[in-house]
């Protein structure tokens, strides 16, 4: 008995030891993976470009010679060929990158802020070179080992060679921009025909290699697993839609279960490219709004700060009076939003870490809109905190087509806790159902309402900050411009995170990065802008459906899509978590009503205003902004301020560098060859170089040529100098690897040139939208903290004196 027991114990101990050994092996494998990524990242920053290139060429030649001597086998031949390709592309890429680096400093905001699209493109290419260098060293050291995984290393080398080839093409495109643009200008500066030709040529490039094994190689390693999860979810989501499947949790569960896309990076990259090129804005609206599902948003809020107040309010569409800044005895009427769908309520969310005076008043309670079981996080307390001296008005991002304050609530709760001030986040109506200028009208109306009724929000309103990210940053600028035009109080400062300031269809060095950005592909950007400009319609022709083939099945009613997603995801997750004992309310009719519509319910029920939708689209914002006020106020102050609403003239907009840098920039352009100055975009490539082209056929990309995108209230970068002088101090936090980086740089340079107080902080190695990823890793937390610090700077002290004009 003892012997048998001892034998069984020994077997158990042996099994336990084997299990621990396997777990230890997995842990060591993960550590080696992280270590290899860290080494590649360090190589990017520690070696200069020439040394890195020469080291890579030497290793490539050595590996090429080795595998060439291994006989006629197919694998050896491919390995030899891939290293030959690495050598060729590295040698061809270095001169182009050196040329860009030699002039990149001319496009910086200042010496303390070395950031622009040219620098970002060079950095991205260096990341790819560094990874290939690290992989080449690994191959050289382990190629004789019996544990050398030949097929795995070959596939990775081929993927990064394809990426390097495409990056070389982008470097030549950047040289073309440098030769075509005005000195110091980052955006493509040619006629519309040339811009369209450039963009059509650019979108034919192959992109799938950046969405497979190379996904997110340019970002910090901590972000890459998240990007991989998103890409797998996206392609699986699109796969279900292609088969016309939406109900019973299929679409939602696809985000969590998709084995074949996880184990086959090449398949994932191909499918990802097909989706971003072929699916319309309604698909992206649905996918981005996945986080709006009740179960998912509840899980996100479980990890966020706990606040005393989180209330969704519905502001009635009633006109009210605001005092003029120049003469408080005079007032101007702020009319409710009218564009496209007539008067309608505006939804806002009040978030406060402490319960403050006024926040539980009957007046505010009468505005509360029910959201279901989690709509009210207001808890009774023995006493109220006094009103805060400050207020933050927040405008969320989402490409003007998706998301609400609910999506951004987790980091807004953290802001409320860290800043100790109430936050009012605006839920503006979304395109394409509510195109420009509906969102601007609603945000301006909500901002003015907040200024007038700040006591109800728990603030005295002594200091007011406008804050927003991406599309919300754009709306922060335009709301401030409109407030100045109306003559009412402008905010004390603006904090804009990675804002979009140029919505015109054009290109810039940083926009070239959209070829490889999994969160902001160029085709998706253009579809969002087209929807916001009113170019994305509900009806689609049969020819379009035939051109899309099976992908045309994804076009369906958006409301039905959201309902199926919500019901399906809730059902699937409740089943997964074994919560069947709790009665689900997701299938009830009131739940469907709790989902905020893109166009407000009251607006849909209202008839159109005196001018129809078509006539509204043809009006400039000068006309639109005066409609509500001209009928009730004829004050001279309003007339004078409203004159700035007119479209800016070319002479008012100055994108040129300062006088000190202008000769150097002009000289740099003169040094470009006549070939680089050729009108043909393909002439940018040297003889014998051919980038890889997309195999997905014609891209559905609506290049918006409507004059409305040049409206300064849609593209604030195009505003006149007199309009920009009316802005308060501006603090911008941008991402170095964001396709929108040049929007921030050029906007900051224009403000600096006018002597306006402006700061630009550029965070490294993070993607667009890092605020929504604030809890993901240390780098995103630090970047989010930068945003909080700038808001605190606006709220804590008066604006610093303006810098002298450059």
**Hey, which residues are catalytic here?**
470
Phi, psi angle pair for 6, to nearest 5° = -65, -35
Dist CA 511 CA 743 (whole Å): 9
Sign of the torsion angle spanned by Cα atoms 749, 755, 756, 759: positive
Phi, psi angle pair for 314, to nearest 5° = -115, 110
Strand-pairing partners, residue 350, are 311, 424
Structure-block tokens of residue 117? 């699209």
**Alpha helices, H only, 47-181:** 49-68, 74-104, 117-142, 150-180
Only one residue has tokens 């996918």, namely 287
SS3 letters for 461-486?
EEEEEEEEECHHHHHHHHHHHHHHHH
Dist CA 803 CA 749 (whole Å): 12
- Report residue 170 CA to chain centroid gap: 21
Burial of 273 (0-12, 13-18, 19+ CB in 10 A): buried
Only one residue has tokens 């995984």, namely 149
| 728: DSSP letter | -
130: left (phi over 0), alpha (psi -120 to 50) or beta: alpha
Strands (E), 236-387: 309-315, 320-323, 331-334, 346-352
Q: CA dihedral defined by 242, 246, 252, 257, rounded to 10 degrees? A: -50
Dist CA 135 CA 588 (whole Å): 55
68: left (phi over 0), alpha (psi -120 to 50) or beta: alpha
Q: Quick check: bond before 165 cis, omega within 30? A: no
Dist CA 503 CA 377 (whole Å): 38
Decide: 381 and 479 in contact? Cβ < 8 Å. Answer: no
**Alpha helices, H only, 487-635:** 522-532, 542-548, 558-576, 589-594, 601-605, 613-618, 621-630
Nearest to 423 by CA among 304, 322, 311: 311
Query: Three-state DSSP class for 17?
Result: helix
Only one residue has tokens 């200069």, namely 48
SS3 letters for 380-410?
CCCCCECCEEEEEEEECCCCCCCCCHHHHHH
């Amino acid at each position: 008995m003892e012997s048998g027991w001892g034998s069984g114990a020994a077997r158990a101990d042996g099994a336990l030891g084997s299990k621990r050994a396997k777990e230890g092996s997995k842990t060591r494998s993960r550590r080696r993976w992280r270590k290899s990524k860290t080494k590649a990242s360090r190589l990017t920053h520690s070696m200069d470009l020439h040394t890195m290139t020469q080291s890579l060429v030497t290793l490539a030649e050595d590996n090429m010679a080795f595998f060439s001597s291994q006989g006629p086998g197919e694998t050896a031949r491919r390995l030899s060929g891939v290293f030959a390709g690495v050598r060729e592309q590295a040698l061809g890429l270095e001169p182009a990158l050196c040329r860009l680096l030699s002039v990149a400093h001319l496009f910086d905001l200042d010496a303390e802020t070395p950031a622009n699209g040219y620098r970002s493109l060079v950095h991205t290419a260096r990341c790819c070179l560094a990874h290939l260098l690290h992989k080449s060293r690994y191959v050289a050291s382990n190629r004789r080992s019996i544990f050398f995984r030949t097929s795995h290393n070959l596939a990775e080398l081929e993927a990064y060679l394809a990426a390097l080839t495409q990056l070389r093409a982008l470097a030549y495109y950047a040289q073309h921009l440098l030769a075509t643009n005005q000195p110091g200008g980052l955006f493509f500066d040619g006629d519309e025909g040339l811009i369209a030709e450039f963009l059509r040529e650019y979108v034919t490039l192959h992109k799938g290699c950046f969405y497979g094994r190379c996904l997110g190689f340019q970002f910090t390693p901590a972000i890459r697993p998240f990007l991989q999860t998103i890409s797998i979810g996206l392609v699986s989501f699109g796969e279900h839609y292609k088969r016309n499947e939406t109900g019973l949790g299929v679409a939602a569960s696809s985000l969590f279960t998709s084995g074949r896309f996880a184990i086959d990076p090449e398949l994932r990259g191909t499918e990802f490219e097909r989706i971003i090129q072929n699916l319309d804005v309604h698909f992206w609206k649905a996918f981005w709004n996945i986080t709006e599902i009740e179960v998912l948003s509840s899980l996100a809020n479980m990890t966020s700060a706990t606040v005393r107040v989180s209330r969704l309010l519905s502001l009635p569409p009633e006109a009210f009076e605001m005092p003029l800044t120049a003469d408080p005895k005079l007032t101007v009427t702020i009319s409710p939003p009218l564009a496209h769908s007539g008067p309608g309520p505006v939804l806002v969310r009040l978030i406060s870490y402490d319960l403050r005076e006024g926040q539980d008043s009957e007046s505010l309670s009468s505005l509360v809109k029910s959201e279901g079981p989690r709509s009210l996080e207001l808890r009774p307390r023995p006493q109220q905190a006094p009103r805060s001296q400050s207020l933050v008005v927040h405008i969320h991002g989402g490409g003007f087509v998706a998301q609400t304050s609910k999506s951004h609530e987790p980091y807004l709760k953290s802001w409320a806790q860290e800043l100790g001030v109430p936050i009012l986040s605006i839920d503006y109506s979304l395109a394409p159902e509510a195109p420009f200028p509906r969102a601007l009208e609603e945000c301006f109306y909500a901002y003015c309402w907040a200024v007038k009724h700040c006591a109800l929000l728990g603030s005295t309103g002594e200091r007011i900050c406008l804050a927003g990210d991406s599309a919300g940053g754009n709306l922060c600028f335009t709301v401030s411009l409109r407030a100045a035009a109306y003559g009412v109080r402008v905010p004390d400062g603006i904090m804009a995170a990675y804002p979009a300031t140029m919505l015109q269809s054009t290109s810039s060095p940083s926009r070239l990065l959209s070829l490889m950005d999994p969160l902001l592909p160029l085709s998706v950007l253009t579809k969002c802008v087209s929807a916001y400009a009113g170019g994305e319609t509900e009806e689609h022709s049969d020819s379009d459906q035939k051109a899309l083939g099976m992908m045309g099945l994804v076009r369906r009613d958006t409301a039905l899509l959201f309902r199926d997603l919500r019901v399906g995801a809730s059902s699937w997750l409740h089943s997964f978590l074994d919560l069947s004992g709790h009665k689900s309310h997701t299938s009830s009719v009131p739940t469907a009503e709790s989902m905020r519509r893109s166009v407000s319910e009251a607006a849909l029920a209202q008839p159109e205003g005196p001018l129809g939708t078509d006539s509204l689209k043809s009006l400039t914002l000068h006309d639109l902004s005066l409609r509500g006020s001209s009928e009730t106020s004829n004050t001279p102050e309003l007339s004078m301020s409203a004159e700035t609403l007119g479209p800016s003239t070319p002479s008012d907009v100055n994108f040129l560098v300062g006088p000190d840098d202008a000769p150097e920039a002009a000289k740099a352009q003169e040094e470009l060859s006549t070939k680089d100055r050729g009108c043909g975009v393909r002439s940018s490539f040297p003889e014998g170089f051919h980038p890889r082209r997309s195999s997905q056929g014609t891209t559905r990309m609506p290049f918006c040529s409507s004059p409305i995108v040049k409206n300064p209230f849609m593209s604030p970068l195009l505003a006149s100098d007199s309009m920009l002088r009316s802005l308060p101090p501006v603090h911008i936090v941008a991402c170095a690897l964001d396709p929108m980086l040049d929007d921030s740089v050029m906007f900051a340079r224009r403000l600096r040139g006018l002597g306006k107080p402006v700061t630009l902080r550029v965070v490294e190695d993070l993607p667009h939208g890092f605020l929504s990823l604030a809890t993901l890793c240390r780098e995103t937390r630090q970047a989010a903290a930068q945003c909080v610090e700038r808001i605190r700077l606006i709220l804590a002290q008066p604006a610093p004196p303006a810098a002298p004009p450059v």
